[in-house]
Structure 1
């Protein structure tokens, strides 16, 4: 029992142990003075007040022991105060500095809830974080990167950096992935495209194995790896090279289309593109019927997604089911 108590005590943080010892000493001397001089310290609270101001060497002088034993106890308390209290303050300051340094180095586990996790630090992830902060300032974001030596974020309570390999479960655990809203894996462009895709899929597999219900969007650079990303469990795949090539091809013949697509995807633009689950009142109606209803609310329906297959501008007689997703332009936020 004694050995168990000692091991338990050793696991307690130093600041907690110091707080416990200081409180114990203060209450002991408060009780002692209240017992030795009940006339000077008629209540235990007044004795505690005296113990605190004495141990911190403030010494207001509103309560002063008059007996020899009381003064000896006060002298001992002052010595304890100089030692323990100052040591506590020094450790508190040191712990604060250490925590800030560990936060900057990315070694502290995240306590965020309902947050985004983004893998790899690059221009795309930087812009993603900026857009999230502008459009959804209440959202927190955790960045996982193994190349940075210090956090790229400063003086922000909603952004945190975790240093580590994102394909390791310990790193994902530090990012609190089980409490996260979604995980976004961006391609590491310092490697070849094939190697970057392989690393992204490995991270995807690790994340799905550790937390199978997390929604994951992964960036894939090569078309050959698109089926592998789907088999690995990606909820959504961003084929950035294919998207870029499509935009460049169409922009040659249809001037302004690239700017239009960018505007539709801008989280701060109006109207903005949305994907929503089918509202209950739309179930069983045709696409033409719900389009008419949507226009009354300043919404323009573009298409539906059935069983993972997206159809833009479907036939007007297409019936909407409960599991369908609706794509629309929304003018209200």
Structure 2
């Protein structure tokens, strides 16, 4: 009965572990036998095991050689049996490595880390975001979930790819969403604006349902779905259509100024940050707070009060206890905080 349990346990092990265990036991067995047959040439069992591994792997250093007929016959059996096992083990290990690499590229491998960022949707915005994360050398891993891609090279993009629907619990579990720090949901460019927003809201619900405390940033295209996206559980909404309309307007009436270059340079060299207001800055006017933060190289541009963003308020505006300050900081200086 005990042997049956051991055999059952053995066959439940992964194939690569079973092969390694079989090769090890086989070599130990041959090493012990050659030590018993020719103790004068193989003084210890370890010497015999060394000879078995060297002979079975067809390396053949020649430092230990059997001299008796029985020892040589044992060596023949070792080459026939052990050599085949070792070769099969090496082939299986190589095939397993290649298969794992293919599964990783195909998005079939689950992510086991934590405190990572999950990005939903593969498009130009996603590519630029990944490049920015890579350029600024953030330590947290980035996971991509997408169902339209068939393959994505990990070595080329430095991102862990999960293939599947972002509304599927199984897909989100593969991305280990319960241990994730944040989720970024981009609008699907293959759908109409209304359909893309509805899909985004479903993605928000699925992410929030799998991790109630995760920070969700979502892209919404239409104003009518903004409230629904907040109700679904989004913490931050990026309304790209509003931004693009404003950019077109500025470019239309500021023909002598390259607005896009200014914005790109600002985003490249400056980083938006927010933080809880300090006690020393509570019940102070906005001008005093701006002067205080400027000493640390922070350019105060607004605040968040009761979920409302107030940009460039009057200098006389009084701050309150639960306010959050919004400021710009040079990117190089901001990276030191990560």
Q: Is the TM value for this pair above 0.5?
A: yes
Residue of structure 1 equivalent to 2:243: 243
- 1:260 offset after TM fit, Å? 4.0
Residue of structure 1 equivalent to 2:300: 301
5 Å-filtered alignment, 1:87-236, equals: 87-151=88-152, 153=153, 155-156=155-156, 158-236=158-236
5 Å-filtered alignment, 1:45-56, equals: 45-56=46-57
Task: Write the distance in 2 (CA, Å) between the matches of 1:273 and 1:218.
Answer: 17
Deviations 1:260-281 (A, max 9, x none): 44443x2x31x43322333566
Deviations 1:185-243 (A, max 9, x none): 11112111111111111111111101111111111111111111000000111111122
Task: Write the distance in 1 (CA, Å) between the matches of 2:157 and 2:65.
Answer: 46
Residue of structure 1 equivalent to 2:61: 60
Task: Give the secondary structure class of the aligned counterpart of 1:244.
Answer: helix
Task: Give the secondary structure class of the aligned counterpart of 1:183.
Answer: strand
- 1:299 offset after TM fit, Å? 1.8
- 1:154 offset after TM fit, Å? 5.4
Task: Write the distance in 2 (CA, Å) between the matches of 1:56 and 1:189.
Answer: 56
Change (3 A) 1:284 1:13: farther
Task: Write the distance in 2 (CA, Å) between the matches of 1:100 and 1:167.
Answer: 26
Count the aligned residue pairs. Answer: 328
Contact 2:121 2:186 survives alignment (8 Å)? yes
Contact 1:116 1:180 survives alignment (8 Å)? yes
Contiguous gaps of at least 5 residues in structure 2: none
Contact 2:26 2:82 survives alignment (8 Å)? no
Deviations 1:13-54 (A, max 9, x none): 211110011111111122222233332222332222111101
Change (3 A) 1:197 1:317: closer
Change (3 A) 1:75 1:294: same
1:35 partnered with 2:31 = no
Task: Give the secondary structure class of the aligned counterpart of 1:170.
Answer: helix
Contiguous gaps of at least 5 residues in structure 1: none
Task: Give the secondary structure class of the aligned counterpart of 1:274.
Answer: strand
Task: Write the distance in 1 (CA, Å) between the matches of 2:156 and 2:299.
Answer: 37
Residue of structure 2 equivalent to 1:329: 328
- Out of 157-166 and 284-293, give the one that drifted further: 284-293
- Cα RMSD (Å) of the superposition? 2.4
Task: Write the distance in 1 (CA, Å) between the matches of 2:15 and 2:77.
Answer: 23
Task: Give the secondary structure class of the aligned counterpart of 1:143.
Answer: strand
| TM-score for both structures, normalised by structure 1 | 0.89
1:318 partnered with 2:318 = yes
Task: Write the distance in 1 (CA, Å) between the matches of 2:9 and 2:234.
Answer: 43
- 1:65 offset after TM fit, Å? 2.1
Task: Write the distance in 2 (CA, Å) between the matches of 1:58 and 1:101.
Answer: 31
Deviations 1:90-147 (A, max 9, x none): 1111112111211221111123433221111111111111111112353422211111
